[in-house]
Amino acid sequence: MKIEKLARKGILKIASYIPGRSIEEVQKQYGAKRWVKLASNENLLGPSPQALEAIRKELSNIHFYPEGTSPVLRKALAKVLSLAEENIVVSNGADNLILMIANAFVDEGDEVIMADPTFPVYTNVTRIMGGKPVRVRLRDFTHDLDGMLNRVTRRTKLIFVCNPNNPTGTIVFEPSLNRFLAGLPGRVIVILDEAYGDFVEAPFYPSGLDYVKNGKQVIALRTFSKVYGLAGLRVGYAIGREDLIRCLYQVRDPFPVHRLAQAAAVAALGDTEHIVKSIQLVYEGRRYLYKELDRMGVRYVPSEANFVFIDFGKDIEEVFEGLLREGIIIRPGKTWGYLTCGRITIGRMEDNRRFIKALKKIL
């Protein structure tokens, strides 16, 4: 029988998520170099030394299954966030939490509103569940909350707000988000994806934690992949009203986060010195990149994340290949329909300087 008859309806038409190219991948084509990967918004400072030590201590226990609900990590998060543990669910990265949300709440035919462009996994999980993605174009590279509100219908179930937005790095401010939430019908759940929230400098940035504490119909997503530098271990968590979080537990995998990841996350959560260093690295790198790009006359979108969305003014594939020849990997904007733009992770100062030097050579 043809696979079209066997597969779940609609999944063969889903565009697969395309991550930033890895160092291993580009080495096959361009050979061994001193590569700098600025494609996936990782913390180039690396993980907390305390997290690495916690992994070493936990290694002898990997023949045991992990505790499925991550109770030690949830307890640590509850203390840091001043929340009840019942308001928290931990899983295998924020990506998996997004899938859990779709599994828990999206029925066939439901509509899910999101920005365009934004994190593409929102679209994919909606289609997997037979829902209809409703994409609202960004306005000035920022979520058009009024436009999203105008697209709400009786079929709307979820609204994703990526704040700061990936790939543009822009944010929606608290007064605007408050008005938006107040205008929604009671049946709609808002998902605030705050993966990059630790890097925001602007005032009036709305915290999903505050909405959760006030009992709003909001689920906030956070991750250990960015500021904590644990992207390779895949740990994320969601916070929300207890009844909403209970629904996520209904669709949770039995053992979603392995023992080493749980131990590392608890240790990383307590290493405030490393957290501050990671945030300061991004602040310093943003200022440096803005200054150099301004000098070059290259346009960019001011960012509140650990990346910058840049308009190079020429074919992004040409820029991408040129930077690869210089040993630098970026994320081409073609993925999001921007043919002259790219997204660049803010790295260590030596990485940022090397990127600017290579860019001057190419342009």
SS (H, E, C) 144-186: CHHHHHHCCCCCEEEEEEECCCCCCCCCCCHHHHHHHHHCCCC
Average pLDDT for 142-149? 98
Give the H/E segment covering residue 255: none
Average pLDDT for 40-62? 97
Q: What is the pTM of this model?
A: 0.94
Question: Which pLDDT value is given to residue 27?
Answer: 72
Question: Which pLDDT value is given to residue 32?
Answer: 59
**Torsion, Cα of 294, 300, 301, 302 (10° steps):** -30
pLDDT of 62 strictly over 80:
yes
pLDDT (tens digit, 9 = 90+) per residue, 22-43?
777 767 777 656 889 999 999 9
- 109 and 192 within one domain: yes
> Angle at which helices 259-270 and 272-296 pack, to 10 degrees?
80
- The number of helices, as runs of H, and strands, as runs of E, in the chain is 14, 13
> Would you say 217 and 189 are in contact if contact means Cβ atoms under 8 Å apart?
yes
Query: What is the phi/psi pair of residue 298, to 5°?
Result: -95, 130
The last residue of one of the domains, among 248, 270, 292, is 270
Average pLDDT for 324-341? 94
pLDDT (tens digit, 9 = 90+) per residue, 241-295?
999 999 999 999 999 999 999 999 999 999 999 999 999 999 999 999 999 999 9
Confidence tier at 4 by pLDDT (50, 70, 90): confident
- 97 and 235 within one domain: yes
Question: Which pLDDT value is given to residue 17?
Answer: 67
Give DSSP secondary structure letters for 184-228. Answer: S-TT-EEEEE-TTGGG--SSSPPPHHHHHHTT-SEEEEEESSSTT
> Would you say 191 and 146 are in contact if contact means Cβ atoms under 8 Å apart?
no
Average pLDDT for 42-62? 97
Query: Which whole-number Å values give the CA distances from 149 to 16, 112, 139, 175, in the listed order?
Result: 28, 12, 14, 15
pLDDT of 108 strictly over 80:
yes
- 36 and 72 within one domain: no
Q: Strands (DSSP E) along the chain, which ranges?
A: 36-37, 88-91, 111-116, 132-137, 156-162, 189-193, 218-223, 236-240, 299-301, 307-311, 328-329, 331-332, 341-345
pLDDT (tens digit, 9 = 90+) per residue, 146-181?
999 999 999 999 999 999 999 999 999 999 999 999
Average pLDDT for 198-219? 97
Question: Which pLDDT value is given to residue 31?
Answer: 67
- 323 and 209 within one domain: no
Q: What is the mean pLDDT of the chain?
A: 95
Average pLDDT for 17-25? 71
- 179 and 200 within one domain: yes
Q: Residue 74 corresponds to which tokens in the numbers above? A: 């949830």
- 311 and 239 within one domain: no
Query: How many Cβ atoms are within 10 Å of 282's Cβ, its own excluded?
Result: 26
Question: Which pLDDT value is given to residue 11?
Answer: 76
Specify the pairing of strand 331-332 against strand 341-345.
Answer: antiparallel
- 293 and 179 within one domain: no
- 351 and 327 within one domain: yes
- 113 and 60 within one domain: yes
Question: Which pLDDT value is given to residue 137?
Answer: 98
Question: Which pLDDT value is given to residue 69?
Answer: 95
- 137 and 36 within one domain: no
- Provide, rounded to the nearest whole percent, the portion of the chain with pLDDT above 70: 97
Question: Which pLDDT value is given to residue 181?
Answer: 98
Question: Which pLDDT value is given to residue 12?
Answer: 79
Confidence tier at 215 by pLDDT (50, 70, 90): very high
The last residue of one of the domains, among 217, 243, 270, is 270
CA distance 59 to 56: 5
Q: Residue 326 corresponds to which tokens in the numbers above? A: 């210089």
CA distance 201 to 325: 34
CA distance 204 to 259: 37
Question: Which pLDDT value is given to residue 22?
Answer: 73
pLDDT of 64 strictly over 70:
yes
The last residue of one of the domains, among 245, 270, 295, is 270
pLDDT (tens digit, 9 = 90+) per residue, 69-92?
999 999 999 999 999 999 999 999
Structural domain of residue 306, as residue ranges? 3-46+273-362
Residues for the chain: how many in total? 363
Question: Which pLDDT value is given to residue 3?
Answer: 79
Domain of residue 32, CATH code: 3.90.1150.10
CA distance 207 to 192: 9
Average pLDDT for 122-134? 96
Confidence tier at 9 by pLDDT (50, 70, 90): confident
CA distance 328 to 39: 9
Query: Which whole-number Å values give the CA distances from 127 to 120, 121, 155, 216, 246, in the listed order?
Result: 11, 10, 15, 26, 23
pLDDT of 363 strictly over 70:
yes
CA distance 342 to 322: 13
pLDDT of 57 strictly over 70:
yes
Domain of residue 83, CATH code: 3.40.640.10
- 209 and 62 within one domain: yes
How many domains are contained in the chain?
A: 2
- 282 and 342 within one domain: yes
Give the H/E segment covering residue 355: helix 349-362
